[in-house]
Structure 1
Amino acid sequence: MNSLDILVMVAYFAVIVFFGVWGARRAKTAEDYAVAGRNLGMRLYLACVAALIIGGGSTLGTATLAYESGISGMWYLLGIGTGMVLLGVFFAKKIHGQKVTTMSEMLEKRFNVEARIISSLVSCTYTFMLTVGQVAGMGTVLHVWLGWDLALSMIVGGGAVLFYTVLGGMWSISMTDIIQLVIMTAGIFFVMLPISLSKVGGWTALHEQIPSAYFEWNSIGAAFILKSLLLYTLSIVVGQDMWQRLFTARTSKIAKYGLLGAAGYAYLYAIAVSIIGMCAFALLPQLDNPQDAFAAIAEATLPAGLFGIVVASVLSALMSTASGTLIATSTTIVNDIIIRFTKQDLNDKRVLMVSRMTTLTIGVISIILALWIQSVLVALDTAFAILSGSLFFPIVLGFFWKKTTAKAAFYSILSSSVVVVIGLILYGSSSVIPILCGLGVSLITIVSMSYLTAPSQELEMEGLDADIKG
């Protein structure tokens, strides 16, 4: 990167810090810090949700898959977008009507405290590993494109996210997400996509330069498509990071249609980045590592200044997701463990301070672990597998099947978590077997035990229905 690109990067970080500090002025209560006072309108809410789901894996990973398999590389983001459609259509009204702060809190209302404890542990593992993955991704981007030391890159990138998240929580995240979404959109749709197509001679010329299989929607293989739908679609439906954004919406209508709008953005983003990856294959077919596809075509085609914008757009994708998963981890720990089980009477000011300290602690640990793992894909696949395989059926059946009992939910989460972890150890994080086994064990356990155990007398499904109608 030359001096102009570096100037663009410095300006980007300055703007993010400014809006982070500005947003922090509105974080005056614990609810402001965790869910932005439940007061986001449609435009701000849609921007926040879209920025959350478009992470570094979505950008760099999709370009890598497209470089190897063509347009079908978009299935990673299609799985995420489909999860948002399901969440918006079938769950948004029910979830928003709960007036809770975490997914685990809802499970306690539906079942019992044991379900809340074990689900919060699973949820924390998921959001924490996502945070680690995004920090590792930020470090890689700064290391490759700016030439900084990898450890320093992770500390700088992770530290910037940690600064504004600790300061203002969800309000700071919401303010910075607007800027990040604008930069992401500009960098991908208005810079990288048109310039990449121009360099290969246009769409028709692209058809002539790469194999025809690259234009088939299923060329990546049925196994990867199934994995995308299982891992990413189900994780979006039951992920605390997405639920927490949903809680920020002012109304259930905003919650629903904001999710659907963000899903549409994810589909368009998937197509755009896939085409960029295909252009990279046409221009640079001999890359030693396909994971360098996005970086390589950016370096080969973009002039000074525009290259800095694209780097900033990738960092925006990483930072927006990292801040969302960081606050989700912190909120789960504070609300489901510290507040729920502390014997002290914590007032709102005290809760706000504890939330900031917890966010700071989790952020520092995330940076340290990212320095150790240094792999985005391992962190992401592990997080998605544990969440989807363990919590999908307890949450879905808890909403829609009144026979589901507290004991059934607890043992379903416990047994499937063990199975998924064992599967990850035996087959690796990239295999679909762990999540399939986890889902199977989860479903069999919750259905069979629901018929064998008596339903709880004090925690009936009607209680949730009353909350939703209220």
Structure 2
Amino acid sequence: MNGIDVSVIVLYLLIIALVGVLGARRAKTSEDYIVAGRNLNFSMYFGCIAALTLGGAATIGTAKLGYQSGISGIWFVTSQGIGLILLSIFLAKKIFNLRVLTISEMLEKRFSVEARLISSLVAATYTTMLTVTQIIGIGSVLKVWLGWNFTLSIVVAGGIVLLYTVLGGMWSVTMTDIVQFIVMSIGIFVIMLPMSLSKVGGLAGLQEKLPSTYFDLSVMGGTDVFKSLLLYALGIVVGQDVWQRVFTARSLKTSRYGMIAAGGYSFLYAITVALIGMCAFVALPGLQDPQNAFASMAIHTLPAGVLGVVLAGVLSALMSTASGTLIASSTLLVNDIIGRFFLRQMNEKKFLVVSRITTLSVGIFAMICALWIQDILVALDIAFAVLSGALFFPIILGFFWKRVSARAVFYSIMASSVVILVSLALEGTTSIVPILYGLATSGITIVLFSYLFPDSVKVNMNREEEGVSQTQIM
């Protein structure tokens, strides 16, 4: 990279840091810090949801899959888009009217404090691993672009994300997400796709130079497609990072339509990035590491200055998701564990201090994990397998089946989590077996124990709750 592109990227990082610091001035209460005061309009909400779901794994991972398998690489991101639409249609109204801050808080309202504790641990594991995937992506692209080593790349860019997220919470995340969504969209759709296609002779040239299997949506195999739907669609439906964004919407209408729009945007994004990966296969055959397909193609194709803008767009995708999942992890730990069980009498000022310390600690831990794992899709599979397998049935049945009991939910989450982790160790992260075993264990356990140990008093989660939730500063 030449000096112009490096300057563009450095300038962009400085702008994001400044926007994030300015956002911190609006984080004056616990709800400001955690859910941006529940006051986002449609444009802000749509941009934030899209920026959250279409992060580093979506960009780097889909380009990698496009390079290896062709257009069938879209299933990863497409599954997330399907998850957003399902969440909008079936759960948006229910969770919006609860006025809670976390999934785990909802489970306590419906079941028991034990369900809140175990679910918060599982959900925090998921959001932390998602943060890890984004940091891995940041390290991978900066290593290719700037020639830095992996550790330095993570410390610099990850440190900027950590800075503005710690200071401003969801308000800083929201303000930076808007900037990042705009830069990301311009970089991917307006610049990178047209120039990548031009490099290989357009769609006709791409079709001529690639094997026919690269244009087959099913070439990955039914098992892998099914795995993507299980992991990512179900994971989006019950993910704290997405739920927390639902809580930021100004109205139910904003929440629903914003998620549908973001789901549609996800489909377009998946196709675009997969095509870029396919172009990279033609232009740069034999890459040693397909995970670098996007970054390598950008460097190979784009002129000075333009390259910096596109790479800033990729950084936008990475940083927006990293900050969103980081604040989600912190919220779960502070709201559902620290504030619920240890510091029950926190005032607003103390809550903000504890939240910032917790966010800083989770961020440092995530950077250490990124240095250890280093494969973005491996970390992603672990995150979604644990979340989907352990929490999908407790949350969905909690809303739609009155007979579910508190003890059944607790043992279901415990049993399925253990089964998933053991299966991941035995079968590997690429196997569909862990998620299937986890879902089966969760479903069987929750049904069986609900009949064996019914609750004496049932809570109706289908009614609309008025007013705000109980304060989370206990």
Q: TM-score, normalised by structure 1?
A: 0.97
Tell me the distance in 2 between the aligned counterparts of 1:67 and 1:355.
Answer: 41
Equivalent position of 1:185 in the other structure: 185
Shift of 1:292: 2.5
1:223-242 correspondence runs (5 A): 223-242=223-242
Match of 1:362? 362
Match of residue 35 from structure 2: 35
Deviates more, 1:354-363 or 1:341-350: 341-350
What is the distance in 1 between the residues matched to 2:278 and 2:376?
Answer: 22
1:373 Cα offset (Å): 2.5
- 2:463 aligns to what? 465
Amino acid at match of 2:131: T
Task: Flag the 1:126–1:200 CA change in 2: closer, same or farther, 3 A.
Answer: same
Shift of 1:284: 2.2
Residue 302 of structure 1 corresponds to 302
Matches within 5 A, 1:375-454: 375-454=375-454
Q: CA–CA distance in 1 between the matches of 2:148 and 2:36?
A: 35
Match runs of 1:110-189 below 5 Å: 110-189=110-189
277-286 vs 351-360, which moves further: 277-286
CA distance in 2, matches of 1:394, 1:354: 29
- State the Cα deviation string for residues 282-309 of structure 1 (Å, max 9, x = none): 2223333322321221121111111111
The code of the aligned residue for 2:175 comes to M
- Contact residue 177 and residue 320 of structure 1 kept, 8 A: yes
Give the Cα–Cα distance (whole angstroms) in 2 for the partners of residues 108 and 409 of structure 1: 10
Contact map agreement 1:200 1:279 (CA 8 A) in 2: yes
**Whole-angstrom CA distance in 2 between matches of 1:372 and 1:271:** 31
Distance 1:344 1:434, change over 3 A: closer
2:261 alignment partner in structure 1: 261
Distance in 2 of aligned mates of 1:369 and 1:287:
26
**Secondary structure, in 3 states, of the residue corresponding to 1:431?**
coil
Q: TM-score, normalised by structure 2?
A: 0.96
Q: Which runs of 5+ in 1 are unaligned?
A: none
Q: How many percent of aligned residue pairs carry the same amino acid?
A: 59
Q: Distance in 1 between matches of 2:113 and 2:61?
A: 38
Take 2:128 and 2:97, find their aligned partners in 1: how far apart are those partners? 26
Whether contact under 8 Å (1:110, 1:464) holds in the other structure is no
Q: Which amino acid aligns with 1:465?
A: R
User: What is the match of residue 472 of structure 2?
Assistant: none
SS of residue matched to 1:241: helix
The answer to whether the Cα contact below 8 Å between 1:136 and 1:370 also exists between their aligned partners in 2 is: yes
The match for 2:471 is: none
Contact 1:92 1:256 in 2 (8 A): yes
Aligned to 1:78: 78
CA distance in 1, matches of 2:353, 2:289: 45
The CA distance in 2 between the partners of 1:201 and 1:149, in whole Å, is 34
**Does residue 247 of structure 1 match 2:247?**
yes
Does the C-alpha gap of structure 1 residues 278 and 345 become closer, same or farther in structure 2, counting only changes over 3 Å? same
Question: Which amino acid is the alignment partner of residue 462 of structure 1?
Answer: N
Instruction: Determine if contact 1:40/1:248 at 8 Å carries over to the other structure.
Output: yes
What is the match of residue 63 of structure 2?
A: 63
Alpha-carbon contact 2:60-2:137 (below 8 Å) kept: no
Deviations 1:304-353 (A, max 9, x none): 11111121111111111110110000000100011111355211111111
In 1, the alpha carbon distance for the partners of 2:67 and 2:454 equals: 54
Counterpart Cα distance in 2 of 1:466 and 1:199? 55
Could you tell me which amino acid in structure 2 is paired with residue 219 of structure 1? V
Question: What's 1:196 paired with?
Answer: 196
State how many pairs are aligned. Answer: 468
Q: Which amino acid aligns with 2:234?
A: L
Q: Which SS does the other structure have where 1:106 is aligned? A: helix
| Paired residue secondary structure (1:461) | coil
Distance 1:289-1:364 versus aligned 2 partners, 3 A rule = closer
CA distance in 2 between partners of 1:174 and 1:456 (Å): 43
SS at match of 1:100: coil
Inter-CA distance 256–237: structure 2 relative to 1 (3 Å threshold): same
User: Which string of whole-angstrom CA distances, capped at 9 and with x for unpartnered residues, describes residues 369-417 of structure 1?
Assistant: 2223223222211111100110000000000111111111111111000
**Quick one: distance in 2 between partners of 1:204 and 1:144?**
30
User: 2: CA distance between counterparts of 1:343 and 1:299?
Assistant: 51
- Match of 2:78, as an amino acid? L
List per-residue Cα deviations over 1:16-58 (Å, max 9, x = no partner).
Answer: 0121112111111011000000111110011100000011110
Residue of structure 1 in register with 2:7 after alignment: 7
Q: For residues 195 and 463 of structure 1, do their structure 2 counterparts lie closer, same or farther at Cα, with a shift above 3 Å needed?
A: closer
RMSD: 1.4
- SS for the counterpart of 1:467 is coil
Distance 1:344 1:57, change over 3 A: closer
Question: In 2, distance between residues paired with 1:331 and 1:27?
Answer: 14
Match of 1:279 in 2: 279
Deviations 1:259-302 (A, max 9, x none): 10101111000011111111112222333332232122112111
Task: Give the whole-Å Cα distance in 1 for the aligned partners of 2:183 and 2:219.
Answer: 31
**Aligned-partner Cα distance in 2 for 1:259–1:39:** 16
Alignment map for 1:302-321 (pairs within 5 Å): 302-321=302-321
Residue equivalent to 1:54: 54
Q: What is the aligned partner in structure 2 of residue 108 from structure 1?
A: 108
Judge which range, 45-54 or 354-363, deviates more: 354-363
**3-state DSSP class of the match of 1:248?**
coil
Letter in 2 for 1:105: E
In the superposition, relative to structure 1, how do residues 65 and 164 fare at CA in structure 2: closer, same or farther (>3 Å)?
Answer: same
Give the direction of change, closer, same or farther, for the CA distance of 1:286–1:139 in structure 2 (3 Å limit).
Answer: closer
- Sort the Cα spacing of 1:469 and 1:170 in 2 relative to 1 into closer, same or farther, 3 A: closer
Equivalent position amino acid for 1:42 in 2: F
Alpha-carbon separation, structure 1, partners of 2:61 and 2:344: 46
